[in-house]
Amino acid sequence: MVRDENKDVLKVRVRKDLTLDYDVVNVRLSVGDEIEWYADEGEIIIDFDRTTHPFRESCFRVAAGKPVRSGPPVGGVGYYEYYVRSEAMQMSADPGVSVKP
C-alpha cells in the first residue's frame, strides 16, 4: 500500500467524563485521513449509525492506553454524527465527523 505523505492521523482524546478534544473532526476523503481515538480511563465505545457511517466499521471499542484508528473514510463526503459511550459510567456524548473532499 502506498501512503500519501499528505495523509493526517487526527488524535482525539476522550476524557473520563466523555468530553472530547474536538466536537467535530474534519477528515479528507481524497488523501485518506484517519482518526485515532484514545481513552483516558476505562473502555469507551465509538458508535456511528450502522447504515450511514464514514469508515469501514460503524463501531470502535477503545480501551484505556490502547488507541484505535478509524481507517480511511469510505462512506463519502458529508457530516456523520457518532456517539461516545461508556458502559461503566452509563454516559454518552454526541460529537461528529465531517468528511471533506
Per residue in 50-83, pLDDT tens?
A: 999 999 999 999 999 999 999 999 988 999 999 8
Question: Is the pLDDT higher at 27 or at 93?
Answer: 27
Give the tens place of pLDDT for each residue, 6-38. Answer: 889 999 999 888 888 888 999 999 999 999 999
**Is there a domain that residue 90 lies in?**
yes
- Number of folded domains that form the chain: 1
Among 70-74, 83-87, 94-98, which range has the highest average pLDDT? 70-74
Q: For residue 53, what are the CA distances in angstroms to 2, 15, 16, 50, 97?
A: 24, 23, 25, 7, 9
pTM for the whole structure? 0.82
| Contact by Cβ (8 Å): 37, 46 | yes
> The domain that contains 54 carries what CATH number?
2.60.40.420
**Is there a domain that residue 95 lies in?**
yes
**Is there a domain that residue 3 lies in?**
no
**Is there a domain that residue 63 lies in?**
yes
